[in-house]
Amino acid sequence: MKEILKLGNPITINGKKVGELAYDLDEITAIQFAEADAKKMRASGSKGGNLSGAVELDYSLHLYLGFAAITSVNPEYDISDLERIKGRDVMEVMKIGRNFIIKRGDDSQESESGEQSETTPEPSTPPSPPSSKNGSSTS
């Protein structure tokens, strides 16, 4: 779904001041994903990628995935244009990329009817026996 990012610090692209950037996470291709990973490594000077090992914590990758979401619907823009984004706008682009990596809250594991999926395991602990109502002990 196409969305709009409003920049607090407009940038100049192709001689025009740009204050809004359209983007679409669903338009990011596998090639753009791989290019985002390669470009973030070149930009950061990193040789080994993300030290944490978790893509969910790779903020530079999130930034470049945000750039990919923007260039996917704005082919006249280049990543080098977007690398001029500054201030809090950088974090807003990073959040776009993070949303590509992390599922949104509307993707639940329950069906639309609210029933649990068939793959949900049953509890392994049997229910407790009912307690005695007269308070007497069985010992």
One digit per residue, the tens of pLDDT, for the chain of length 139 reads 899 999 999 999 999 999 999 999 999 999 999 999 898 777 766 555 555 567 778 889 999 999 999 999 999 999 999 999 999 999 999 999 999 998 765 544 433 444 444 444 555 555 666 665 555 555 5
Domain count, the chain: 1
In a domain, 27, yes or no: yes
Nearest CA to 82 out of 14, 3, 4, 2 is that of 14
- Domain with 22, as residue range(s), is 3-101
pLDDT at 55 (0 to 100): 77
Is residue 18 included in any domain, yes or no? yes
Query: Is 113 domain-assigned?
Result: no
Tokens read off for 44:
């950061």
d(CA 56, CA 111): 25
Distance CA 98, CA 56 (A): 7
120 within domain boundaries: no
Distance CA 70, CA 82 (A): 9
In a domain, 91, yes or no: yes
In a domain, 138, yes or no: no
User: Within a domain: residue 74?
Assistant: yes
pTM over 0.75: no
Q: Considering the domain boundaries, does residue 84 fall inside one?
A: yes
